[in-house]
Amino acid sequence: MDESEENAVPYEETVIRDTDIVFDCPHCGRNLVIDYRGAGLPITCTNCRQSVLVPIPDGMQIDDLDVNPGELLKQLFATRRNLQKAEKRAEELDMKLANIQEYLKGLVELLRD
């Protein structure tokens, strides 16, 4: 992914369109504005240079936008959302697995004594 394609700009330095996503950088709190097509994509904060995931607005109505094909975009956003969920779930499972491995290690130690 070429990050230069999807650059957020500081809130006060741009004209905000209805279709823009306005959000705060979770690292430095800076107001950022990005085109709706950046929803769900990682971008670099213009202020702190940290990687930020653009939020996907709840109930984002692609149909309201003057775009074609809207259905394709809808599916794209849904796919990104599911990917984020799956990544989070994988993280949780990794942690559980690590816990179980720790537990087993402890059991083995006990049996050895």
Which positions lie near Zn ion, rule CB under 5 A? 25, 27-28, 30, 45, 47-48
CB nearer to Zn ion: give 19 or 47: 47
Using only the alpha carbons of the chain, give its radius of gyration: 20
Nearest to 32 by CA among 20, 40, 41, 19: 20
Find residue 9's DSSP bridge partners. 33
Q: How far is the CB of 3 from Zn ion (least distance, A)?
A: 14
Q: How far is the CB of 51 from Zn ion (least distance, A)?
A: 10
CB nearer to Zn ion: give 3 or 71: 3
